[in-house]
Structure 1
Amino acid sequence: MNKILTLLCYNLGLWGILGFFATLILGFLTCCANLPAQVFYISLISFAAIGIIATTICVARGCKKGQ
């Protein structure tokens, strides 16, 4: 259980930092390109979904590796 929690915290922390920078970059790009706000939100939601899926896969692989 401790290994799962450690891997979850590490991966979600990493994706959180990446999400912060992605928010800044995507906000700048959508502002400069005069894109609607929906494009910004859809791209952030897709980034978050990719982060959650990648975290789930990495944690599952990391826990199987130790067995």
Structure 2
Amino acid sequence: MNKIVTLICYNLGLWGILGFFATIILGFLACCANLSSIVFYTALIVFAVIGLTATVICVARGCKKH
């Protein structure tokens, strides 16, 4: 159980930091390219879904290994 929690916290923390930088970069690009807020939020949601999916896959693989 401790290994699962550690892997989840590590992966979500990593994706949280990447998400922070992705928000800044996407916000800058959306502002400069004059994109609508729908495109900006859709890109952030897609990034979040990728991060959650990658976390689930990495935790599942990490828990199978001994």
State if a TM-score over 0.5 links the two structures: yes
Normalising to structure 2: TM-score of the pair? 0.99
Aligned-CA RMSD value: 0.3
Question: Tell me, which stretches of 5 or more residues in structure 2 are unaligned?
Answer: none
Q: Which segments of 5 or more consecutive residues in structure 1 lack a partner in the other structure?
A: none
- Give the C-alpha shift of residue 31 in structure 1: 0.3
Aligned counterpart, 1:36: 36
Structure-2 separation of matches of 1:58 and 1:35: 33
TM (normalized to structure 1)?
A: 0.98
Deviation for aligned residue 1:46: 0.3
- Aligned residue in 1 for 2:3: 3
CA drift at 1:58 = 0.1
2:21 partner amino acid: F
Aligned length in residues: 66
Matched, 1:62 2:58: no
